[in-house]
Amino acid sequence: MPKGVLFDLDGTLLDSAPDFVASLDNLLTKHNRPKLDPEIIRSHVSDGSWKLTSLAFNIDISDEKCSALREELLEEYESNLLKHGGAFDGIEEMLALLEKDDIPYGIVTNKPLRFAEPILINEPVFQNCKTLICPDHLDAIKPNPEGILRGCKDLGIHPTECVYVGDHAKDIEAGINAGTQVVGCYFGYSLQADDSAEHILGANHPDELYELIIKL
């Protein structure tokens, strides 16, 4: 059983896709562009706002227009935080079981503090989160292990005593780079069961996370 757990946020603890779908819909309507299939948006949420902007407007990330459109998207998303999405079903129960076992948890995300902090404040499920590590706190983001190593330090544990849980290949890579155990979330936005090596444990639903975590 681990002494602590660190989680990715989007696609792992938080189903933020509905907020992004609404935000992109509003932005595309504003620019008289056709809406994207919600499933396409969902599959790219964990790839970040640059990717979503590029997809929505069919432009390259290097295009100077992309930066301005991305900022419009982020402003729209900020106004939609938790309006349509929230913690995945089963996450509240999983976190309660960890708390019952006296296993502290934190969040290491590539999501900027501007968005992550209000989510933690306003989503009661995350009230017992012990640390929040965002790109604002770091020199390098995942798959670099810096954030996970900092999270372990905040929890007062060694990386070998920690499990990192995420839904993207970068999450798995970052956890391995940090020296933690890792669990993949196949119910999230990016990682698929056949993407990971056989030795990587994965959950098809949040209900499966607790049992996978405590066996490590």
Tokens, residue 29:
């309507």
Residue ranges of the domains in the chain? 4-15+85-214, 17-80
For the chain, what percent of residues have pLDDT higher than 90?
93
Amino acid, res. 173: E
DSSP string, 13-38: TEE-HHHHHHHHHHHHHHTT-PPPPH
Of the residues 8, 15, 19, 167, which is catalytic?
A: 8
Q: In this predicted structure, what is the pLDDT of residue 192?
A: 81
Provide CB contacts within 8 A for 6, sequence distance 6+: 105, 106, 107, 108, 148, 151, 152, 155, 162, 163, 164, 165, 180
The interaxial angle of helices 64-80 and 113-122, nearest 10 deg, is: 10
Contact call for residues 82 and 115 (beta carbons, < 8 A): no
Is a pLDDT exceeding 60 seen at residue 200? Answer: yes
Q: What's the per-residue H, E or C state across 53-102? A: HHHHHCCCCCCHHHHHHHHHHHHHHHHHCCCCCEECCCHHHHHHHHHHCC
Least-confidence region, from 61-75, 147-161, 192-206: 192-206
Of the residues 10, 19, 167, 171, which is catalytic?
A: 10
Map residue 104 onto helix, strand or coil: coil
Annotation says 8 is catalytic? yes
Average pLDDT, the chain: 95
Annotation says 19 is catalytic? no
Q: In this predicted structure, what is the pLDDT of residue 196?
A: 55
pTM here is 0.95
pLDDT, one tens digit per residue, over 63-94 is 999 999 999 999 999 999 999 999 999 999 99
Fold designation for 4-15+85-214: Rossmann fold (3.40.50)
